Amino acid sequence: MSTGRGRVRGRLIAAAAVCGALSMALHTWIPNGVGNLGSLFRTFLPWVGLSVPVLLVAAAVRRSRLAAVAVLAPAVVWVSLFGGTLTDKRSGGGDFTVVSHNVDEENPDPARTARALAASGADVLALEEMSPKATPVYERELAAGYPYHSESLGVRLWSKHPLSGVEAVPIMPWTRAVRATVDTPGGPVAVYAAHLASVRVTPAAGFTTARRNEAARKLAAAVRAEPLARVVVMGDFNGTVEDPALEPVTSGLRSAQHDAGAGFGFTWPASFPVVRIDQILVKGMSPTSSWTLPTTGSDHLPVAASLRL
């Protein structure tokens, strides 16, 4: 191979590194006009960092100093974006614990899932994607530890504390969200459990999110109208908190994972999580710790958070 050709390839590697750095640094500028590309890119934004070791190896193979130096650019940008996410921000002191879990309507062992959730000791459980067939199993397994629950289908709350003001939140034609006041020893807390519409990625349409985004706007309107000062919004959002299309919900609320987690807390798919689409958002309370629970047989991992009332 000629030296000139090697230099050209080194420059191509350097150019790829610069493009990677710019795409991460300017990710908020990527528009959603074509196939919701901006939302899709931000959903998997942390994984763009994998380009750094790949490009570094390529630079070493080509023995290109220019390429090796250029790879520093995406490395620095990635660390600036996600370095804080990797730190352990968990602490003690919480007095109200919540768990949200998409239990999977095709879950082969709902009894196992219910027992695992009960063992978490959470004050409130928010369960999504409950099938009519499996619902009696959850009612039986959770009865002893969680005497209070909503009667909604598909999405349901279980609580150790009394519930009042239980009502469906009309974010879709059928019940995909429920709201209740949890009468905790520290005072009332408004809890919303939601399962936003699913999304798809297709070559023809790109990242299809219209139904999810509309459901998010309706959920956001309900949360904005909430009279209680302390609010928890949790569930399967089918999107990350970085997705700009979910800003109507996420703005004004704090992400428990961002404030009090350790790492990215990916939740889906459970066998090899690559994205966090299950969220716990709060207002009027301080998250002290956030974590994921072990797999339960669902295709999602449960998410948990401890809050200070």
CATH number, residue 204: 3.60.10.10
Domain C-terminal end among 62, 86, 110: 86
Place of tokens 């998410």: 303
**Is the pLDDT confidence value at 205 over 90?**
no
Read off the pLDDT of each residue in 68-89 and give the average, rounded to a whole number: 95
Domain shared by 118 and 217, yes or no: yes
Range 60-72 burial, b when 16+ CB lie within 10 A, else e = eebebeebbebbe
**Is the pLDDT confidence value at 187 over 70?**
yes
Range of the domain at 61: 3-86
**Is the pLDDT confidence value at 189 over 80?**
yes
- Give the model confidence (pLDDT) of 233-260 as tens digits: 999 999 999 998 999 999 999 999 999 9
Give the pLDDT score at 235. 98
Q: Provide the pLDDT confidence category of residue 152 given band limits of 50, 70 and 90.
A: confident
- Give the model confidence (pLDDT) of 135-151 as tens digits: 999 999 999 999 999 99
Domain shared by 123 and 72, yes or no: no
Domain shared by 67 and 124, yes or no: no
Evaluate whether 206 touches 216 at the Cβ level (below 8 Å). no
* Residue 136 lies inside a defined structural domain of this protein: yes
**Is the pLDDT confidence value at 2 over 50?**
no
**Is the pLDDT confidence value at 69 over 50?**
yes
State how far the Cα of 80 lies from the Cα of 50, in Å rounded to an integer.
Answer: 15
Domain shared by 60 and 108, yes or no: no
**Is the pLDDT confidence value at 72 over 70?**
yes
Give the pLDDT score at 201. 85
pTM: 0.93
Domain shared by 269 and 175, yes or no: yes
Give the pLDDT score at 67. 92
* Residue 91 lies inside a defined structural domain of this protein: no
**Is the pLDDT confidence value at 8 over 80?**
no
Give the pLDDT score at 5. 62
Evaluate whether 232 touches 177 at the Cβ level (below 8 Å). no
* Residue 227 lies inside a defined structural domain of this protein: yes
Domain shared by 106 and 76, yes or no: no
* Residue 291 lies inside a defined structural domain of this protein: yes
Give the pLDDT score at 87. 95
Domain shared by 26 and 121, yes or no: no
Q: Provide the pLDDT confidence category of residue 35 given band limits of 50, 70 and 90.
A: confident
Q: Provide the pLDDT confidence category of residue 3 given band limits of 50, 70 and 90.
A: low
Strands (E), the chain: 96-102, 124-128, 148-149, 155-159, 163-168, 177-184, 187-195, 200-202, 206-208, 231-236, 254-255, 278-283, 286-292, 303-308
Domain shared by 38 and 101, yes or no: no
Domain shared by 208 and 183, yes or no: yes
* Residue 56 lies inside a defined structural domain of this protein: yes
**Is the pLDDT confidence value at 209 over 50?**
yes
Alpha-carbon separation of residue 206 from 29, 33, 209, 255 (angstroms):
18, 11, 9, 27
* Residue 302 lies inside a defined structural domain of this protein: yes
Domain shared by 196 and 299, yes or no: yes
State how far the Cα of 53 lies from the Cα of 56, in Å rounded to an integer.
Answer: 5
* Residue 194 lies inside a defined structural domain of this protein: yes
% residues pLDDT > 70 (the chain): 97
Domain C-terminal end among 86, 116, 132: 86
% residues pLDDT > 90 (the chain): 86
State how far the Cα of 40 lies from the Cα of 246, in Å rounded to an integer.
Answer: 12
Backbone angles phi, psi at 108, to 5 degrees: -75, -15
Domain shared by 125 and 76, yes or no: no
Number of separate domains in the chain: 2
**Joined tokens for residue 174:** 């059928």
Domain shared by 149 and 267, yes or no: yes
Mean per-residue pLDDT of the chain: 94
